[in-house]
Structure 1
Amino acid sequence: MPPRNRPLSAQAVGVLRALAAEPSRWRYGYDLATEVGLKSGSLYPILLRLADRGLLEAAWEPGPEGRPPRHMYRLTGSGREYLAALPTPARPAPRLNLRPSEAP
């Protein structure tokens, strides 16, 4: 079965953008979850899908003695290209501080 080519969710794009801040740096899932505001039940499936698409790479880091290994993530060249092709996020329009009598 060929892979599906659906657009990424806003959450997945947010994860990519967080990784893009320092694209060559390895990041832990917990740190990413904290930064992007996702719970692990949402974040880790996103990370797996992004890795399956080749947009990020994953590696295991041995844990300190008595601790399990930790998964780390970073962007690939394809991930950087994908982000570069996305439109920049829209900024909210500035708010005008008008008195009610001046409102349009």
Structure 2
Amino acid sequence: MSGMANPIRVTAAVSKVLAAFLEDPEADRYGLDLMRASGHPSGTLYPILLRLQNAGWVEAHWEKIDPVAAGRPARRYYRLTPDGQLSARTELAALQAQLNRGLGAATPTTNPRTA
């Protein structure tokens, strides 16, 4: 793989996942945690996480626990990479600016008192 990461198309669904990561960019997050934070079911979340990993925005690792002792399976943790943090902030800011422009265009320019 070359040094150039795969481009990510930041859809509304992807932006919710990125926003969840940016709540605490240094934290390891696991699937159920990210599903709750983003509002996405697993069938939406995991393909997004895979795309973000392939692009180099997210890294993943398995929790080092004894599943029997812990009473649950090991979790796969995800975290934004430094590039991912920068890209996520840039993309979300651009998306917010786009939304603001869209809302601005829909706002009536006439003063309601003079109309």
What is the TM-score of this pair, normalised by structure 2?
A: 0.68
How far apart are the structure 1 equivalents of 2:41 and 2:66?
A: 24
Percent identity reads: 36
Matched, 1:34 2:36: yes
Q: Deviation per CA, 1:36-82, whole angstroms, max 9, x where unpaired?
A: 11001110111111011000111100345323221011111111111
Summarize the alignment of residues 21-60 of structure 1 with structure 2, pairs less than 5 Å apart.
Answer: 21-60=23-62
Aligned twin of 1:77 = 82
SS of residue matched to 1:50 = helix
Q: Is the 8 A contact 1:62 1:68 kept in 2?
A: no
Shift of the 72–88 alpha-carbon distance from structure 1 to 2, 3 Å rule, reads: same
How far apart are the structure 1 equivalents of 2:77 and 2:10?
A: 21
SS of residue matched to 2:77 = strand
Alignment length (residue pairs): 97
Which structure 2 segments of 5+ residues have no match? Answer: 105-112
Q: Is the 8 A contact 2:58 2:80 kept in 1?
A: yes
Q: Which structure is higher in helix share? A: 2
Q: Give the drift of 1:84.
A: 2.8
Q: Which amino acid aligns with 1:51?
A: Q
After TM superposition, the structure 1 stretch with the greater mean CA deviation from structure 2, 36-45 or 76-85, is 76-85
Q: Structure 1 stretches (4+) deviating beyond 4 angstroms?
A: none
